[in-house]
Each structure stands twice: as structure tokens, then as C-alpha cells.
């Protein structure tokens, strides 16, 4: 028998909302959450294109092993799953 637990979502305390940009478009996320989480919640699933066939790429492992979520932040290629959201972050697709 499966025992259902009460919905505890209202007890989760999140940090404040901040705004950053992805390819020039404003996106909101919680300060300190992973960049890939904020981008996915905002509907940005295609974070870069594969170098050979230009196929869309996005989040895969979400723990920094696959590098599929690579984006450009402040001019540096980083993994979105290992980068925290901060206010005024400038993020772009990493089409490298």
C-alpha cells in the first residue's frame, strides 16, 4: 500500500527572484538556484547546438558530467547546471 504524504510545497522557503538575460531576453530565477533550472522553468530547453550536426542540446545529467548544458556567461563557457543564478547575469548560447 502506498502512503501519500501531505503536500509540503508551501513550506519551502525560496530566495528572492532576480532577473538575468539569456540571449538578450530577460529571465527570472531564484538567487542561488542552478542556472539550468531557471532556464528550463522559463522554457529555454535548447541551450546550444552540437558542433558537427548543429542539433539542439540542453540539460542532460544536471550534475556537471556531460557538458551538454554549456552556455556562455560573462564571456566564459560554463556548465549551466554548475552555475548559480545571480542578478544581472548575462548568458548566451554556446554555439562553439
- Record the pTM: 0.85
Interval 63-93: pLDDT, tens: 888 989 999 998 999 999 999 999 999 999 9
Q: In whole angstroms, give the CA distance from residue 65 to residue 27.
A: 25
Q: What is the DSSP letter of 8?
A: -
Domain regions of the chain by residue span: 17-93
Can you tell me which residue has the cell 539569456?
22
CATH class of the region 17-93: alpha beta
SS3 (DSSP) at 12:
coil
Would you say 60 and 68 are in contact if contact means Cβ atoms under 8 Å apart? Answer: yes
The three cell numbers of residue 65 are 558530467
pLDDT of 32 reads: 97
pLDDT of 1 reads: 62
Amino acid at each position: 500500500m502506498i502512503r501519500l504524504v501531505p503536500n509540503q510545497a508551501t513550506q519551502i522557503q525560496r530566495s528572492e527572484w532576480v532577473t538575468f538575460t539569456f540571449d538578450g531576453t530577460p529571465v527570472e530565477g531564484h538567487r542561488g538556484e542552478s542556472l539550468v533550472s531557471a532556464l528550463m522553468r522559463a522554457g529555454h530547453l535548447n541551450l546550444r547546438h552540437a558542433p558537427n550536426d548543429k542539433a539542439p542540446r540542453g540539460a542532460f545529467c544536471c550534475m556537471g558530467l556531460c557538458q551538454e548544458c554549456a552556455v556562455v556567461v560573462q564571456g566564459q563557457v560554463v556548465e549551466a547546471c554548475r552555475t548559480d543564478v545571480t542578478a544581472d547575469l548575462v548568458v548566451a548560447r554556446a554555439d562553439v
